[in-house]
Amino acid sequence: MEKATMSDTARLEINGQEVELPLIVGSENEVGIDISQLRAKTGAVTVDVGFKNTGSTTSSITYLDGEKGILRHRGYSIEDLAENASFLEVAYLIINGHLPNAEEYADWDTQIRHHTLVNEDMANIFKAWPTGSHPMGQLTALISSLSSFYPDSLDPHRSEDEQHRTIRRLIAKMPTIVAMLMKKAKGHPLIYPNNDLDYVSNFLNMTFKNVTEDYEIDPVFVEAMNKLLILHADHEQNCSASTVRIVGSSHSNLYACISAGIAALWGPLHGGANQKVIEMLEGIKADGGDASKFIAKAKDKNDPFRLMGFGHRVYKNYDPRARIIKKSCDDILNKMGINDPILEIAKQLEETALADPYFVERKLFPNVDFYSGIIYRAMGFPMEMFTVLFAMGRLPGWIAQWKEMRDQNQPIGRPRQIYTGETNREFVIMENR
Ligand code: CMC
């Protein structure tokens, strides 16, 4: 870890003893207090439930300023990337640290096309699941099962080349697996990958084509999908990325780590919110469309209801991803000629919330999940698939976070605690209790 060069230390007094703690300053002048020697010097640990003030690592992948609403990957703004790049290009950037030149990109693209097929036995796994199983549960299992098909991944000390092959395999197979989830849920025959197609077109073809009919890939869909995947590609040390890093810190294989990340993403407070947003908007519509009633419910501390797709741990300003998605939502629905009444409800809900002191004081704004589901739905994805699509977009970010952690040779993640339970007591045999 880089240490600050000036006399940059914090001083802490504990039990009459003063300790100096070095500061770590990031390239955007963020300041962290390095407490790695705190326990050795004082016997005390820090407590920060939910890690609201804890930097778990230094990282050079993503920069986020939640107060200003800034998001950059490897120095490039999310607005620039969403406007100009393809998802596969952004995946390369996030994982490798630089934008690929034409040759690097051609190689990356070819390698990924080469790995799109999955073992036929993977389809057998579906036979064990009851109809209607949630695809996020299936996705965790399928991604983890790749370690059975590629047992070389279990060796934590493989060469860099072998590690890169696992990374390319995973990126290549993710759309094939996600499309399988859609087809199996419908009971339709699978569509195999067509390696003549680019990453996103191939995914759309496997998902929406039927064996019985021709399917024309709509460029509007391709553009929308690319953009949505890019907007989800990484988000620094969030719940799922931290999960991937901590699981990986025990040298678990990459497939298992990503599977753990998918499990963390599933929750409605994280990526699962995109499904919940549409359920909420449908609920408002069914209830007559009065957004203010739901705002009142969200403000009521005795009601567990929260405005889904609103609020964020780090954004205390408009989530820049939500801003881009909101605009795309209008564009894409217009281009598709779709008039979805829940888009109007969503806009009304946003307007009402942003004018309400409860939301203003707490700096609660729409997040990435607020408008994304409306686009997914317009494209023909069922609601249960929305978080799966988030996972597909987040994959390069999880891989980059895992890779950075391993490249830095970080130690196993193992937090401390402050024990508040019973002190030593004698065992009482059952008859005497
Ligand atoms: N509706 C109503 N009140 C809210 C909401 C909401 N969506 N979000 C936060 N608050 C209130 C919360 O009750 C608390 O109020 P008070 O200070 O009076 O107790 C205050 O705002 C701060 O909230 P918090 O729960 O302490 O904030 P957090 O940083 O722990 O939680 C969050 C962040 C995203 C979990 C939360 O805002 C939330 O539950 N939002 C809805 C779920 C959602 O949309 N999640 C997707 C997040 S973005 C995609 C991703 O990357 O995961």
The best mutation among 235, 306, 356, 390 to test binding of ligand 1, ranked by most ligand atoms within 8 Å of the C-beta, falls on: 306
List beta partners, residue 310.
Answer: 366
Mean pLDDT, rounded, for 182-194: 96
How many angstroms separate the alpha carbon of residue 47 from the centre of ligand 1? 21
Q: 68 CA distance to ligand 1 centroid (A)?
A: 18
Question: Ligand 1 pocket, 363 CB below 6 A?
Answer: no
- Please work out whether the CB of residue 326 comes within 6 Å of at least one atom of ligand 1: no
Other residues' Cβ atoms within 10 Å of the Cβ of residue 243: 23
- Tell me: do 301 and 396 sit in the same domain: yes
Classify residue 119: in a domain, yes or no: yes
Q: What is the pLDDT of residue 41?
A: 94
**260-280: per-residue pLDDT in tens?**
999 999 999 999 999 999 999
Same domain, 302 and 396: yes
pLDDT digits (tens, 9 = 90+) for 121-177: 999 999 999 999 999 999 999 999 999 999 999 999 999 999 999 999 999 999 999
Res. 4: pLDDT tops 60: no
Identify the pLDDT of residue 82: 97
Q: Could you tell me the two tokens for 285?
A: 């519509």
Residues belonging to the active site: 312, 369
If asked whether residues 163 and 46 sit together in one domain, one would say no
Task: Give, for ligand 1, the residue of 312, 319, 363, 394 to mutate: max count of ligand atoms closer than 8 Å to Cβ.
Answer: 312
Q: Are 31 and 172 within one domain?
A: no
The 8-class DSSP code of residue 31 comes to: E
3-class state of residue 130 by DSSP: coil
Helix (H, G, I), strand (E, B) or coil at 117: coil
% of the chain at pLDDT higher than 70: 98
Q: Cα(395)–Cα(149) distance, rounded to whole angstroms?
A: 19
Task: Report helix, strand or coil for 14.
Answer: strand
Distance 29 CA to ligand 1 centre (A): 27
The whole-number average pLDDT for the span 63-77 is: 97
Amino acid 7: pLDDT: 59
Determine the distance separating the centroid of ligand 1 and the alpha carbon of 363, expressed in angstroms: 10
| Pair (188, 285) in one structural domain | yes
Q: pTM (2 decimals)? A: 0.95
Give per-residue pLDDT as tens, 329-379.
888 899 889 989 999 999 999 999 999 999 999 999 999 999 999 999 999
Average pLDDT, the chain: 95
Q: Map tokens 């005795």 to a residue.
A: 302
Instruction: Name the one residue in this structure whose structure tokens are 């978080």.
Output: 387
Domain count, the chain: 2
Task: Give me the CATH number covering residue 23.
Answer: 2.20.28
pLDDT value, residue 426: 97
Please name the residues in contact with 303: beta carbons below 8 A apart, sequence gap of 6 or more: 297
Structure-block tokens of residue 91:
């995946």
Q: Which residue has the tokens 């109809």?
A: 131
State whether 339 and 217 are in the same domain.
Answer: yes
Residue range of the domain that includes 15: 9-65
Do 122 and 46 share a structural domain?
A: no
- Of 279, 310, 283, which is closest to residue 294 (Cα–Cα)? 283
Model confidence at 290, pLDDT cuts 50, 70, 90, reads: confident
CA dist 31 and 43 (Å) reads: 24
Pairing type for strands 76-77 and 62-65 reads unpaired
Q: Is the CB of 313 under 6 A from ligand 1?
A: yes
Per the CB < 8 A criterion, the answer to whether 61 and 40 are in contact is no
What pLDDT, on a 0 to 100 scale, did the predictor assign at position 144? 98
Q: Are strands 62-65 and 31-33 parallel, antiparallel or unpaired?
A: unpaired
Query: Residue 404's closest CA among 174, 256, 236?
Result: 236
pLDDT at 6: 53
List of residues 6+ apart from 196 with CB closer than 8 A: none
Q: Are residues 38 and 142 in the same domain?
A: no
The predicted structure's pLDDT at residue 291: 87
Same domain, 130 and 58: no
Q: Comparing 195 with 7, which gets the higher pLDDT? A: 195
**Any atom of ligand 1 within 6 Å of the Cβ of 306:** yes
Same domain, 105 and 163: yes
* Residue 394 counted as domain residue: yes
Compute, in angstroms, the gap from residue 77 CA to the centroid of ligand 1. Answer: 25
The answer to whether residue 18 scores a pLDDT higher than 90 is: yes
User: Number of C-alpha atoms within 13 angstroms, CB side, residue 158?
Assistant: 20
* Atom 47, ligand 1: residue with shortest CA distance: 270
By most ligand atoms within 8 Å of CB, the mutation choice from 269, 315, 368 for ligand 1 is 269
Spacing, Cα 314 to ligand 1 middle (Å): 10
CB of 309 within 6 A of ligand 1: the answer is yes
Residue whose pair of structure tokens reads 């969403």 in the numeric block: 82
Structural contact between residues 32 and 23, judged by C-beta atoms closer than 8 angstroms: yes
For residue 173 and ligand 1, the question of a CB distance below 6 A is answered with no
